[in-house]
Structure 1
Amino acid sequence: MNFDDIIYEVSESFATITINRPKVLNAFTGHTVHELTQAFMLAWSDRSVRSVILTGAGDKAFCAGGDQSRREHGGYAGQREARSDLGIDIEALHSVIRDIPKPVIAAVNGYAIGGGHVLHVICDLTIASDQARFGQIGPKVGSVDAGFGTGYLAQLVGEKKAREIWFLCRQYSAAEAREMGLVNAVVPQERLIEEARAWAREIAQLSPTAIKLAKQSFNMASEKFRGVEAFASSALALYYDTDEAMEGRNAFVEKRRPDFAKFVK
């Protein structure tokens, strides 16, 4: 299958999915998300694939979240066949990463920000390069990712830290991310992909049925966040149609500080 925004490769016992939009720090559009979902489905159906590595092209970013230049009132442009009112089927992508009965390893090679940060959080394992940066940006750009982006994050790093991440929109180094339990390992940038492949090779030596059952068991405790995300997506589509949300988006595109003061009720 040919893709526009991603690269899909199968080697040995694992698939590698690379978000290939380095000029925009691998920010995703509705089309990118659609292709990512398709790629994960390919990996799911391929019996030779025992795990999946998700990464970003280049050495600057894993993924910087949604491409704000493609966002308009009510949601994202350019993917009108999307089922979601947002114009981007991010729920479907999140679901396939969780539901594929094979471990998904995020190889974070740079910025994992906003929706890109949520992607690595949902992955089963995260290996970060020593150049990686993590953080949320939603409240700066008039957006939020409720469910997995908030509640599940709190389950990983604790309520206080998760609220700090969202309420202050700071960025954190790979070392800080490891200290808070957000990543499993930190390696030099030049060793990142090989380290992810080494982990994938270890997984391939284990019982696939045991791995499948273990992943499904782990997911049970956080399954409630899928329902929260579905409700939040509907609410977010309404929020994206407001002047307040567009102020955040416009300020980001125009490279200025947003002025939210006029929206305080």
Structure 2
Amino acid sequence: MASTDTPEFETLRYEQRGAVGWIWLDRPDRYHAFNKVMCDELSGLWRTLRTDDSVRSVVLSATGDKAFCTGIDRDFVPAEGGVEYEFTPYTYDDPGKLLGPKANDFWKPVVCAVNGMACGGAFYLLGEVDILIAADHATFFDPHVTYGMPAVYEPLLMMHRGMPFGEVLRMTLLGNHERLSAARALEIGLLSEVCASDQLEEQAAWLADTIAAAPAGPMQATLRTLWAGRELSRGQALDLGNTFLNLGMSAESMAEGQKVFQGERAKPRIR
């Protein structure tokens, strides 16, 4: 059932289905490019959902099938250059830092379903989600250098997410002149699944619902552990593991898991 207490947004759509929060970027006339309103609304929503215990996982997508997100809205960028955000060589309030779940300290699993173009600033989102799937017509590219802007944060996020260095380099340096297909993105490990456009929501729902069915505390502790493991040395990550193990373990979650163990066994899908 969808939540009856659904917030209203100018640039997003949101609803809750069971224990899963569904977020859609919703600026189809601008191919879901982000402006200041979307940055603020998305940041506020992540921060609201992180303390909502009724939400155990999230699906992030966009309305329509032409684009997922095409980065920063060009209305942000005046013809003479620069953006609405002031910066000096030492400080810069990057608007993209408001977009992603991890940047907003959101540590519930996020399934991202890409249905169309994903380019430029879209990688702020793709670099911070947990499971990334796409429709078979989705494409990925970074046009920054083509339009006279250095590509910095977006390729760094994708590199740390695990996109092969050579692929990050090729995509970033070629700018608007080449697009990564969904098939190629799956091949290099950027995506974990590709499906037909009309099956994308169903697949995303299965993933998010399955995740949400598990006890929340151990799931969040596991997520924090794995992301920390990407950024720390092996020894540091293992040392930190004891902290996350103790934080995520509880009598309540163990009892919930025991009921699952004693009940009907899951029939796993083979991928």
Q: Give the TM-score normalised by structure 1.
A: 0.75
Query: Would you say the 8 A contact 2:123–2:158 is kept in 1?
Result: no
1:109 maps to which residue? 115
Matches of 1:62 and 1:129, distance apart in 2? 11
2:199 aligned with 1:191, yes or no? yes
- The answer as to whether partners of 1:43 and 1:52 remain within 8 angstroms in 2 is no
Counterpart CA distance in 1 for 2:10 and 2:174 is 35
Contact 1:26/1:63 (CA < 8 Å) preserved in 2?
Answer: yes
**1:76 Cα shift?**
3.4
Cα deviations across residues 59-78 of structure 1 (Å, max 9, x unaligned)? 1000011011221366434x
Cα gap change, 1:17 to 1:95, in 2 (>3 Å): closer
Q: 1:108 to 1:167 in 2, by over 3 A?
A: same
What is aligned with 2:83?
Answer: 76
Structure 1 residues 186, 215: closer, same or farther in 2, change over 3 A? same
Match of 1:27 in 2: 33
The corresponding residue for 1:154 is 159
Contact 2:43 2:104 in 1 (8 A): no
Contact kept in structure 2, 1:64 and 1:117, CA below 8 Å: no
The aligned residue for residue 48 of structure 2 is 42
Higher relative contact order (CA 8 A, sep 6+): 1
Aligned to 1:61: 67
Give the letter aligned to residue 177 of structure 1: A
Unaligned runs of 5+ in 2: 1-6, 233-271
Task: Give the TM-score of the pair, scaled to structure 2.
Answer: 0.74
Once residues 192 and 131 of structure 2 are traced to their aligned partners in structure 1, the CA distance between those partners, rounded to angstroms, is 6
Greater share of helix residues, 1 or 2? 1
| Rounded Cα–Cα distance in structure 2 between residues aligned with 1:117 and 1:166 | 11
Give 2:66's aligned amino acid: K
Structure 2 letter corresponding to 1:154: M
Letter in 2 for 1:204: A
| Structure whose alpha-carbon radius of gyration is higher | 2
AA aligned opposite 2:126:
H
Instruction: Give secondary structure in 2 for the equivalent of 1:153.
Output: helix
Amino-acid identity (%): 29
Cα 1:88–1:97, aligned 2, differ >3 Å: closer, same or farther? Answer: closer
